[in-house]
Amino acid sequence: MRREERVPVRIGALVTSITPDGDLLVQRSVTVDISGDGGCVEGLTHPLAIGSTVAVQNGEKRARFRVVWVGEPGTERNGQFGLQRLSGAEDKNSILYIDDDLNGAELRTRKLAELGFNITHAASSAEGFERLRQGRYTLVMVTYPMRDMETTDLIVAIRRSGKKARIMLLSSFASIPEPLLELVDAPVRKSEPTQAMVSAIEWALEDHKHIKFPTRSYRRFAVQVPVAVEVLRSGERMMYYGTSIDLSERGIGARVHATLIPGEMTKVYFSLPNSPMEIEAHAMVRHRGGENFYGFEFIAVTPAAIDTVRSLCAVLPSISMAK
């Protein structure tokens, strides 16, 4: 691939970066050369780390860059830093940040804005839904836990909204439940360095798919048990009831007295005869058949629940192979 031509030009610019302690650092610099996708700067008092994200501002223009190389001592590039452009149009990389911990959220929002991110903070789940409805966002950052709504339910509702934004989880805890991890594109812990959060955001803003569904086939087994399906619509939880037809470790088929939409995110509840515990799983409506028959694919379910399903399926009559 042909490398873009670098044009020697010296322009003063402000470079904003994150220190190892998580503080914002603004330094004056001078460009050495520029090209369509990056440039080179020098004159910084504090060095930049390779791989870190920085904002470069000249006048009213600001853009995000990744540090891709650092000039070695003893070479003509000593003291210079190579930058690769990251930011595009603002509406293409807009971020919605939902967090009801106001002090921490305001600080993170300010830091990300200073780094050149187009970020909007919502202080509650309700405000987050309203902003999501009105705007276009490439990424939604959701904190865990939320006080006014379970984070899992919030993420499922965002998925169900039809918005094509990727979802990043910002956790207050070192341990993140596995079902929650399955629902997001990029997790990061608040205790990690700020640069780790910035790197996770950059990764999530790239062109990654949301949820990768397994293509492996699973054998279905005949079983009839009561099933409850919870759907979040217009901010209200609706509960519908029915009876299962078949079951696999990947999902459940059931007749439900409701009108559900393929692709809709739901929460399904059912009990199996080999366990006293009710199984709860976030599931997507994968298909709809006649007489209110729906196929639900499990999206987030605990390993213990899957073990219960497997042990029952081992003694049930098989129906067929299904994806």
Residues 46, 135 within the same domain: no
- pLDDT score of 214: 37
- pLDDT score of 130: 92
**Residue 266 domain-assigned (yes or no):** yes
pLDDT at 78 over 70: yes
**Residue 96 domain-assigned (yes or no):** yes
**Residue 1 domain-assigned (yes or no):** no
pLDDT at 145 over 90: yes
pLDDT at 17 over 90: yes
Mark which of 155, 170, 205 sits at the end of a domain.
205
- pLDDT score of 245: 93
DSSP-assigned states of every residue in 284-295: EEEEE-STTEEE
Rounded Cα distance between 186 and 208, Å, is 10
Residue 263 — very low, low, confident or very high, per pLDDT cuts 50/70/90? low
Mean pLDDT of 41-46: 95
Residues 42, 59 within the same domain: yes
Mean pLDDT of 276-305: 85
**Residue 100 domain-assigned (yes or no):** yes
Q: Is 92 helix (H, G, I), strand (E, B) or coil?
A: helix
Please tell me which residue, 12 or 320, carries the higher pLDDT value.
Answer: 12
Compute the mean pLDDT over every residue in the chain, rounded to the nearest whole number: 85
Residues 102, 194 within the same domain: yes
**Are the C-beta atoms of 77 and 121 separated by less than 8 Å?**
no
- pLDDT score of 218: 66
* CATH number where 168 lies: 3.40.50.2300
Q: How many structural domains are present in the chain?
A: 3
pTM above 0.75, yes or no: no
Residues 251, 273 within the same domain: yes
**Residue 73 domain-assigned (yes or no):** yes
- Exposure b/e, 47-72, CB count within 10 A at least 16 = b: ebeeebbbbbeeeeebbbbbbeebbe
Mean pLDDT of 28-41: 90
* CATH number where 15 lies: 2.40.10.220
pLDDT at 212 over 50: no
Residues 42, 132 within the same domain: no
Query: Among 33-42, 47-56, 82-91, 236-245, whose mean pLDDT is lowest?
Result: 82-91
% of the chain beyond a pLDDT of 90: 45
Compute the CA torsion angle 79, 84, 86, 89 (nearest 10 deg).
110
Mark which of 54, 85, 116 sits at the end of a domain.
85
Please tell me which residue, 291 or 143, carries the higher pLDDT value.
Answer: 143
Query: Which domain does 59 fall in, by range?
Result: 7-85
Mean pLDDT of 209-223: 58
**Of 180, 181, 200, whose CA–CA distance to 190 is shortest?**
200
* Phi-psi label, residue 235: left if phi above 0, alpha if psi -120 to 50, beta otherwise: left
Residue 282 — very low, low, confident or very high, per pLDDT cuts 50/70/90? confident
**Of 37, 71, 65, 35, whose CA–CA distance to 52 is shortest?**
65
Residue 210 — very low, low, confident or very high, per pLDDT cuts 50/70/90? very low
Mean pLDDT of 163-186: 85
Q: Quick one: which H or E segment has residue 283?
A: strand 279-288
Mean pLDDT of 79-93: 74
Residues 234, 177 within the same domain: no
* Phi, psi for residue 195 in degrees, rounded to 5: -65, -30
- pLDDT score of 232: 74
List the structure tokens of 229. 């399906």
Residue 2 — very low, low, confident or very high, per pLDDT cuts 50/70/90? very low
- pLDDT score of 233: 65
> What are the residues facing 166 on neighbouring strands?
139
List the structure tokens of 151. 């984070």
pLDDT at 4 over 70: no
Residues 302, 234 within the same domain: yes
Tracing tokens 């439900």 back to the chain, one arrives at 256
In the DSSP assignment, the letter for residue 150 is: -
Residue 35 burial by Cβ neighbours in a 10 Å radius (0-12, 13-18, 19+): middle
**Residue 167 domain-assigned (yes or no):** yes
Residues 111, 182 within the same domain: yes
Residues 187, 263 within the same domain: no
Mark which of 43, 61, 85 sits at the end of a domain.
85
Residues 251, 308 within the same domain: yes
Rounded alpha-carbon distances, angstroms, from residue 137 to 68, 141, 205, 252: 27, 10, 10, 33
Q: How many helices (H) and strands (E) does the chain have?
A: 6, 20
Please tell me which residue, 138 or 1, carries the higher pLDDT value.
Answer: 138
Mean pLDDT of 34-51: 89
**Residue 210 domain-assigned (yes or no):** no
pLDDT at 219 over 70: yes
**Residue 211 domain-assigned (yes or no):** no
CB atoms within 10 A of CB 141: 31
Residues 194, 98 within the same domain: yes
Residues 155, 228 within the same domain: no
% of the chain beyond a pLDDT of 70: 89
